[in-house]
Structure 1
Amino acid sequence: MSTSARSLALSEAGAGPAPWQRAAAGANLLAADGSLAVTIFEEMTTMAAACGAINLGQGFPDEDGPGSIAAAARQAIADGANQYAPGKGILALRQAVAGHQQRFYGLAPDPDTEVVITTGATEALAATLLALTGPGDEVLTFEPFYDSYGAMIGLSGATHTTSPLRAPDFQPDLEHLEEAFSDRTRVVLVNNPHNPMGAVFTRQALARIVELAERHNAIIVTDEVYEHLTFGVEHVPVATLPGAAERTITISSAGKTFSFTGWKVGWLHGPADLVAAVRTVKQFLSYSSGSPFQPAVAAALALDDGFYDGIAAGLRQKRDVLADGLRRAGLEVFVPDGTYFINVDTAPLGVTDAVALARRLPGLAGVAAIPVSVFCHGEGAERTRSLLRFAFCKKTEVLEEAAARLAKLPELLA
């Protein structure tokens, strides 16, 4: 008997879904018969490679970050930083994270008790949800949501509830959000700037989230990995708002800011009691990782303001190159205020099923994208049925070629 068949049989016998099934179902990877699908990222990347298409589906840069950071990692290897780092991360990086938060936001987490280094933001999120939620709890996210949220909520045994982000601005619907909260809401998970929609939440919306979390005694968990990738709008960390710091765990990472996604160096900070709970779980996941990368990231966090301003300006120019090609394709373009993702509505081309179009696009136009509906459950998937997400964290010449190819889409679909 296969693993999926065995797990399905156990479910039917009353044992409930296996943990892997809950994780897969949460990420929309489980069919009704218990069979397991690959992620949409793997599917689109495979198709792009087979067709020789430009892959604007998965969100990773096609060029490395500053050479000085890579050199620092090489030096750390040469200096012998090749064994286990401390479970909560090396002190230099914990101090650098605290210094970064003070420098940019006026926050002052204690590097000894309120900061933990993780294997990317993904582990930080996993450890946090596994530490703080379980059966009987609800975890509230905005929808669309990054797929790992659904997977980890499912694995924890908590119930995943959502509140929609609606076109065209994809800001929180504050009336619906109030209805989505309940006294079972243990965690509200805030991804801001938001992947996949590219929205940067307003201060008003964030303040309302804090008010509702206080009312329902919920913990706020923020995923802020795109914090430095905003275009003419302010990123407001939730922990800076009145009443938020004592109930907020803030998560970020080096991958998106410095274009070293494969290093998987992330961090979290928050009140000492919550951080201790998360650290207890985290130490039994990876324990520690990336020893020679940690001092390199510590150095990166100290880069001058010109670096941080430059990465946002460069991405904004790339965003506009791709947006122009998407408009010439006849698509409705939702210009993002942050992240490196841009979304379009395919309905103006008479296409209402973006999943089907995404599967045709690599062979048809030589470009790969991701349908937004895979980041949703139920009603949300129907609401976003005609939306596609493209990544613009690529070289300008690559984006120019992709834009030229996409501009031909109307005639290719005719």
Structure 2
Amino acid sequence: MHTVANFDRIGEENAFAVLARAGALAAKGMDVINLGIGQPDFSTPENIVEAAVKAQRDGQHGYTPATGIAPLREAVSADLHRRFNVETSPDNVLIVPGGKVTMFAAILMFGEPGADILYPDPGFPIYRSMIEFTGARPIPIPIREENGFAFNADESLALITPQTRLIILNSPANPCGGVTPKAEVDKLVAGLSNHPQVAILSDEIYDQMLYDGKQHVSLLTYPQIRDRLILLNGWSKTYAMTGWRLGYSIWPNALYDKARKLAVNCWSCVNAPAQFAAVEALTGPQDAVGEMLIEFDARRKLVVKLLNDLPGVSCITPTGAFYAFPNIKDTGWKAKELAGSMLEETGVATIGGPDFGILGEGYIRLSYANSQENIARAIERMRGFLGKE
């Protein structure tokens, strides 16, 4: 059977394969502790759930506009103004079924044979997968431990060529937990003035998950790039709504209608009751967000302390998201082999660094979206595994 070549190039997100294997082992009776999948272990706040139930009972069962219901697009604009003091028209907001959809749309728009797209490495694996799917050339932006897992503006700008169409940025970052400081973002934006042909996709899905007094620097706050900036954000991480499949993007005027047409062709519209739940998430009480962050912070400190006590392991302190990215080079293991063997032998699920890019070798990712008790149990099992002769 003949298939289109693009589909031979498409990759995947191995965290879901690890999740499936962990589930299979648990079904056989193994006590599995999952530090692999990147989703909060909290329930969606009750007021948000109730808003969805009310919408269903009120008869919100039909199609909505492809761009999202007006109250939700207005709520997104108001939330961005409240948090970053930026003006964003609801007419530039596109409601989408999950954060990945914005990546898919943006990379599809700019990727084709002969084009270069820059993306963070280690980074979210779908960036590279989608770039290769379009036939464009993926150009890794190195995300280095010695730089606190933040991107380096000079290094990023040096990778831009006349073939570069799109640069993808992610801070706070998955998988490393790095947060790029404002001075570095300033330098990058200033440098991009020399490359007006390059569009920017800023993945800010973890924008409220920062620690140690760090402040999020949204690229929306730079008016000089607003005409070529695509912002990716959503509800999955901040409000523990991964399974609701709900996100939003901000598009510049020149690209918005192209994105709207893609929505019409691909997903028609987003689940109606979920959109009403999202309105409540943004406009209702925000207490649960702060409570989750306090707990994530406690887990962050615990996981770093325990990891640094393991033989052959060192871990810098992440300042964003809910991931630790420990260096395991001195254990003598290759990262994916270590992650796979630990899962099979000890029931601890982690992700090997190479699943996030070619520069991920020598690291594994642990999600601390699990209880402190389970984190401690998991790392104790890791200690036993690494201490074996």
- Normalising by the residue count of structure 1, what TM-score does the alignment of the two structures yield? 0.87
1:374: how far off?
1.6
RMSD between superposed Cα atoms in Å: 1.9
1:304: how far off?
4.3
1:138: how far off?
1.4
1:338 aligns with 2:320: yes
Aligned residue for 2:376? Answer: 400
Gaps of 5+ in 2: none
Structure 1, residues 255-290: CA drift from partner, whole Å, max 9, x if none?
Answer: 111001000110011322222222222221212122
TM alignment of 1:366-405, pairs within 5 A: 366-376=347-357, 381=358, 383-405=359-381
1:205 aligns with 2:187: no
The 2-side partners of 1:137 and 1:385 are apart by 27
Q: Which amino acid aligns with 2:348?
A: V
Aligned residue for 2:19? Answer: 45
Say if 2:94 and 2:251, in contact at 8 Å, map to a contact too. no
Q: 2:208 aligns with which of 218, 228, 234?
A: 228
State the SS of the aligned residue for 1:52.
coil
State the SS of the aligned residue for 1:243.
helix
State the SS of the aligned residue for 1:335.
coil
1:319 aligns with 2:297: no
Q: Which amino acid aligns with 1:311?
A: M
Aligned residue for 1:348? Answer: 330
TM alignment of 1:231-380, pairs within 5 A: 231-232=211-212, 233-304=214-285, 306-330=287-311, 331-351=313-333, 353-376=334-357
1:406: how far off?
2.8
1:41: how far off?
1.9
Structure 1, residues 204-240: CA drift from partner, whole Å, max 9, x if none?
Answer: 2212322333211211111110000111211100121
Structure 1, residues 160-200: CA drift from partner, whole Å, max 9, x if none?
Answer: 11220111311223332222111221111111111111111
TM alignment of 1:102-121, pairs within 5 A: 102-111=81-90, 113-121=91-99
The 1-side partners of 2:14 and 2:247 are apart by 24
Q: Which amino acid aligns with 2:317?
A: V
Q: Which amino acid aligns with 1:222?
A: S
Gaps of 5+ in 1: 8-16, 28-38
Aligned residue for 1:31? Answer: none
Structure 1 window deviating more from structure 2 (398-407 vs 51-60): it is 398-407
1:241: how far off?
2.4
TM alignment of 1:5-16, pairs within 5 A: 6-7=2-3
Say if 2:339 and 2:349, in contact at 8 Å, map to a contact too. yes
TM alignment of 1:26-105, pairs within 5 A: 39-49=13-23, 50=25, 51-105=30-84
Q: Which amino acid aligns with 2:161?
A: S
Say if 1:132 and 1:278, in contact at 8 Å, map to a contact too. no
Q: Which amino acid aligns with 2:49?
A: A
Structure 1, residues 299-357: CA drift from partner, whole Å, max 9, x if none?
Answer: 11124454443332221111122223222323201221101111111123333x01111
1:21 aligns with 2:16: no
State the SS of the aligned residue for 1:161.
strand
Aligned residue for 1:173? Answer: 152
The 1-side partners of 2:231 and 2:269 are apart by 19
The 2-side partners of 1:273 and 1:304 are apart by 35
Q: Which amino acid aligns with 2:110?
A: L
* Cα 1:277–1:106 shift into 2, 3 Å: same
The 1-side partners of 2:382 and 2:189 are apart by 41
The 1-side partners of 2:139 and 2:336 are apart by 24
The 1-side partners of 2:181 and 2:204 are apart by 14
The 2-side partners of 1:276 and 1:196 are apart by 32
Say if 2:227 and 2:254, in contact at 8 Å, map to a contact too. no
State the SS of the aligned residue for 2:366.
strand
The 2-side partners of 1:354 and 1:162 are apart by 19
Q: Which amino acid aligns with 1:189?
A: I
The 2-side partners of 1:48 and 1:212 are apart by 45
The 2-side partners of 1:370 and 1:336 are apart by 17
Aligned residue for 2:141? Answer: 163
Q: Which amino acid aligns with 2:250?
A: H
Q: 1:410 aligns with which of 367, 373, 386?
A: 386
Say if 1:365 and 1:409, in contact at 8 Å, map to a contact too. yes
Say if 2:342 and 2:385, in contact at 8 Å, map to a contact too. no
The 2-side partners of 1:290 and 1:91 are apart by 14
Q: Which amino acid aligns with 1:227?
A: D
The 1-side partners of 2:14 and 2:286 are apart by 36
1:151 aligns with 2:129: yes
Q: Which amino acid aligns with 1:286?
A: W
Structure 1, residues 43-90: CA drift from partner, whole Å, max 9, x if none?
Answer: 322332314321111112233121111111111111111221210001
The 2-side partners of 1:358 and 1:107 are apart by 42
The 2-side partners of 1:54 and 1:123 are apart by 29
